[in-house]
Amino acid sequence: MTGTGLRKGAQPFTPAVEDYAKTLYRLEQQRDAPVATGAIATRLEVSAPSASNMVRNLAQLGLVTVARGRGARLTPAGRELARAVIRRHRIIECFLMDALHLPWDSVHGEADLLEHAVSTRVAEAMWDALGRPVRDPHGDPITPSGDDDPDTDILEPLDACEPDAIGVLVRVSDAQPEALRYMAERGIAPGLPIRVISREPFGVGQRVLIGDTEHIIGPELGRLIFIERTA
């Protein structure tokens, strides 16, 4: 891979380390258990040995403890780093959309590049300039400073909601840009009221009212959309 260049005044951790911490955090919070190195490798699109090595590296930095046998867990320090990176990422996403008016689906990728170069100072200045928003454009929470995502457990994936469920579309996973583009085209975005009309058979998906438009949401998409139930 390409070398690092002259990054003297940069963050205390390398971009790679930050990325691993972030990924660890994500996976750890998905199911609360030690994270397999293979999962990390898949998620970061690196080879298994690369992930294996880097996990050892993180352990040496005190960011991770390797449970004997299988899997790694973040230490408090690691968790703090991960949360700091995620916070920067989300602030940057907000910023790119609200201040620079970049299209929804490109914001996540740009933020991935920027999150390692933007200092905390700059990120906080962005946050202030935006009026300290509470969620990013995909509905992910921007937590005060080092808290856990408060509501990931409250939210339900649309996919899992039975007909007549009512709520607010709060979050849309930013993992797949094409999905975002698809949704943007149809006006599906966080903040809209949502109601499940019915579930179509044969795996077609759900008929859903979002805002005042009816949509057919396939199961793939349904897993990326999260709602806060009101009924």
**Binding to a second copy by residue 178, rule CB under 8 A?**
no
Rounded CA separation 138/127 (Å):
16
**Binding to DNA by residue 100, rule CB under 7 A?**
no
Q: Is 212 helix (H, G, I), strand (E, B) or coil?
A: coil
State both tokens at 21: 């911490």
Query: Closer to a second copy at the Cβ: 58 or 165?
Result: 58
Give the C-alpha distances (Å, rounded to integers) separating 215 from 33, 179, 194, 224.
Answer: 36, 14, 10, 15
∠117-123-126 over CA atoms, to 5°?
Answer: 130
**Binding to DNA by residue 41, rule CB under 7 A?**
yes
Give the C-alpha distances (Å, rounded to integers) separating 138 from 17, 63, 107, 217.
Answer: 25, 28, 10, 17
Sequence-separated (6 or more) residues with CB below 8 Å from residue 107: 93, 96, 97, 137, 174
Query: Closer to a second copy at the Cβ: 15 or 218?
Result: 15
**Binding to a second copy by residue 119, rule CB under 8 A?**
yes
Q: Residues 29, 65, 66, 124: which binds DNA (CB under 7 A)?
A: 66
**Binding to a second copy by residue 5, rule CB under 8 A?**
yes
Q: Residues 4, 30, 152, 198: which binds a second copy (CB under 8 A)?
A: 4
The residue range among 62-70, 126-134, 162-170, 215-223 that interacts with DNA, by the rule CB under 7 A, is 62-70
Q: Residues 33, 48, 117, 216: which binds a second copy (CB under 8 A)?
A: 117
Select from 79, 103, 93 the least CA-distant residue to 23.
79
∠55-58-60 over CA atoms, to 5°?
Answer: 115
Q: Residues 10, 29, 57, 73: which binds DNA (CB under 7 A)?
A: 57
The residue range among 80-88, 121-129, 177-185, 220-228 that interacts with a second copy, by the rule CB under 8 A, is 121-129
**Binding to a second copy by residue 48, rule CB under 8 A?**
no
**Binding to a second copy by residue 132, rule CB under 8 A?**
no
**Binding to a second copy by residue 19, rule CB under 8 A?**
yes
State both tokens at 128: 């202030």
Q: Is 35 helix (H, G, I), strand (E, B) or coil?
A: strand
The residue range among 50-58, 98-106, 120-128, 186-194 that interacts with DNA, by the rule CB under 7 A, is 50-58
∠14-15-20 over CA atoms, to 5°?
Answer: 100
Phi, psi of 169 (to 5 degrees): -70, 115
Using CB under 8 A, list all residues that contact a second copy. Answer: 1-7, 9-10, 14-19, 44, 46, 96, 99-102, 106, 109-110, 112-114, 116-119, 121-122, 125-126, 128-129
